Amino acid sequence: MEYRTLGRTGISVSKFALGTMRLGAWGNQDHDDAVKLIRTALDAGVNLVDTADSYSGGEAEQIVGKAIRDRRDEVVLATKGHFPIDLRRDGDPNRRGNSRRWLTRAVEDSLRRLGTDRIDLYQVHRPDPTTDIDETLSVLSDLVRAGKIMAIGTSDFPAEQLVEAQWVAERRHHVPFHTEQPPYSLFMRGKEADVFPTAQKYGLGVLTWSPLNSGWLTGRFRRGEQIEMTEFRRAVSYKFDLSLPGNQRKLDAVERLAALADERGVSLTHLALAFAATHPAVTSVILGPRTLDHLSDQLAAADLELDDTTLDLIDTVVTPGTDLNPADNDYKRPSLTDPALRRRRPTGRG
């Protein structure tokens, strides 16, 4: 397993990281099996384990805590906060977001669930338009100085907000963000246009997620076949709705990429994972296996490197800097989703 330095932190992390969103109620509900999966990844050289307080309502953090209890110093432990944990109290606006009040509570709760005294990388899970970035950086800086978290990062932040955060940290003498965690795959290359160059400019480590585009890049979904709409797929139907032009483009691209993978003697899954790790801005690719078989197959791509000819051919299938289905982006900018922010109101003056 190759190791890379995480931004300017001095922390070395594995080229492939283990994501845990599918452990617990959202996927593998067998805790013993999930613990075995995590420990198998560690045995294979994976040292970065990424989770979040919202995954399975905190259950994923509990599983991670069990798995690393006797191996804590081997693990670069990353988690995230922002979303509400208890969906029964989803209406409480003070139990979410990036405010000092909520993040202080969220970090303490994560430490308890993980059974540890420190978090190596704490990430704000999404931007929060209701909280000034100065407040968010202020509380995270205090938690770093208290020794509860070692480094801080973001997830799904647009490039301009990454720049603003760096500027605020410098001017207000806060600890700056060290990492960004965006979605990135053969089908979602939009980050190449702005987020990746911004991360490189400011020395941010980049941890990418969804390298298989929710299963599309395993070759599971092919033209002429219906997609079974599981509970998860119904919840994010825009990623699988075949009436959307973007998903039709994905069907076409799957055929061309699968043929390219066959020519190279590799699986489409391995081609996709190797591609995600190739960009010079990317520090680590977060895998999201639900089973040990999924993990073993994905880890087998760790030594695969793509040559320039293969990468050039990939560029002819998916243009650099583009997303085949823009709806796949989970973070929707309020400036686009809230009509009131796009419509000037009459002032009432003559």
Q: List active site positions.
A: 55
Residue type present at position 321: G
Q: What is the DSSP letter of 339?
A: G
Q: What is the per-residue burial (b if ≥16 Cβ within 10 Å, else e) of 133-145?
A: bebbbbbbbbbbe
- Residues pairing with 149 in the sheet: 119
Residue closest to 185 by CA, chosen among 248, 254, 106, 95: 254
Of 349, 13, 346, which Cα lies nearest the Cα of 179? 13
Q: Tell how strand 48-50 and strand 76-81 pair up.
A: parallel
State which amino acid sits at residue 319. T
Q: Which residue has the tokens 């040292």?
A: 47
Residue 81: strand pairing partners: 124
DSSP 126: S
- Backbone φ, ψ for residue 284 (5° rounding): -150, 145
- Residues 318, 323, 326: CA angle, nearest 5 degrees: 150
Amino acid at 166: Q
- Cβ proximity of 294 and 263 under 8 Å: no
Q: Which residues are CB-neighbours of 170 under 8 A, at least 6 positions away?
A: 176
Given phi > 0 = left and psi -120 to 50 = alpha, else beta, which region is 46? beta
Which residues does residue 177 pair with via DSSP β-bridges, in sequence order? Answer: none
Show the beta-strand stretches assigned E in 44-169.
48-50, 76-81, 119-124, 149-155
Reduce the DSSP state of residue 117 to 3 states and report it.
coil
Amino acid at 332: K
